[in-house]
Amino acid sequence: MPFSEAIRRFGSDKPDLRNPLELVDVADLVKDVEFKVFSGPANDEKGRVAVIRVPGGASLTRKQIDSYAEYVGIYGAKGLAWMKVNDRAAGVEGIQSPVAKFLNEEVINGILERTNAESGDIILFGADKANTVAEAMGALRLKLGKDLELTNESMWAPLWVVDFPMFEEDDEGNLHAMHHPFTSPLGMTAEELKANPAAANSNAYDMVLNGYEVGGGSVRIHNAEMQAAVFEILGIDAEEQREKFGFLLDALKFGTPPHAGLAFGLDRLVMLLCGTENIRDVIAFPKTTAAACLLTDAPSAANPAALEELAIAVTAAKEKKDA
């Protein structure tokens, strides 16, 4: 499954396919409504309006809905609009929702049709920046699946997620490597990559199982020109490239063959096989929450001779004086 599809349908790049709930985009339906909570993100190129239809969810109480609104707030969502479908055959008259008064009949019917809503369902709305909607609604999807016992706990759902974006953009508009700067772009030349880096996908892949990433890797860059182009896009100029990665760029000039990597997390696989959700349950000698090792009693006192040999000085922390 391509990364873009995983984010669109499940709000996550490690979707749990045992859960039947999916995100459905409705921005095109609400971009002209007067309700700015919906129309604002719908008209923002970086915004998103998505809904989750929960079968039988109309039975949720207001208290339960409010608890879910509080839950998505953890992920940056500002609220959780909802629409109960009490009688699908009655159209707008069969809808119960605090936001229905801001939506006309055409919009409501469009949402009902696109989500295949039926009587007894509830539709939950996420409207914000695309990343916030994906994170909040993706997490809500998992919680609803567990709370309402919609997730089939008896099955295994493995999945390869591919075609990850090469770069991701921060709040300042700077590009960063989504995996690492040595991941090869997919089907592009160095010039094409520099011309439109935001549109580039990487030749990377993750193995997902029951909503957990259990393995991942990528095809690595094996061309000096391509590697230099990636460094340039990341804001590393030629001088810094030579200083920090000159050995790599030189090695790539000598005909490095295409090569790839893949690593699986054995602990994570064992965790799933044992039916636990805490990886510490299956790690032989897990560290404590204070980062101490019960097996070796680390961290221990530092040997002064070793510190001197390494030119490391240990100084006492200065106490802060009251202003």
Same domain as 124, residue 78: yes
Helix or strand (DSSP H, E) at 76: none
Does the structure show a pLDDT above 60 at 323?
A: no
CA distance 251 to 238: 16
Does the structure show a pLDDT above 80 at 245?
A: yes
65 band by pLDDT with thresholds 50, 70 and 90: very high
In a domain, 315, yes or no: no
CA distance 85 to 118: 7
Domain range spanning residue 120? 19-148
Taken as a whole, the chain contains a residue count of 323
Q: CATH no. for residue 247?
A: 3.30.930.10
Does the structure show a pLDDT above 70 at 322?
A: no
Same domain as 135, residue 221: no
Mean pLDDT of 40-55: 97
Mean pLDDT of 122-137: 97
Alpha carbon 27 to chain centroid distance? 20
Mean pLDDT of 197-208: 95
Phi, psi angle pair for 50, to nearest 5°: -135, 150
Same domain as 123, residue 177: no
Structure tokens, 253 = 């000039």
Classify residue 218 as exposed, middle or buried by CB count within 10 Å of its CB (0-12, 13-18, 19+). Answer: buried
C-alpha angle 214-220-225 in degrees, rounded to nearest 5: 155
In a domain, 127, yes or no: yes
Does the structure show a pLDDT above 70 at 170?
A: yes
The domain boundary, picked from 120, 148, 176, lies at 148
* pLDDT value of residue 178: 92
The per-residue pLDDT for range 224-243, each reduced to its tens digit, is 999 999 999 999 999 999 99
Q: Which residue in 157, 143, 155, 208 sits closest to 17, CA to CA?
A: 157
Q: CATH no. for residue 62?
A: 3.30.1360.30
* pLDDT value of residue 147: 97
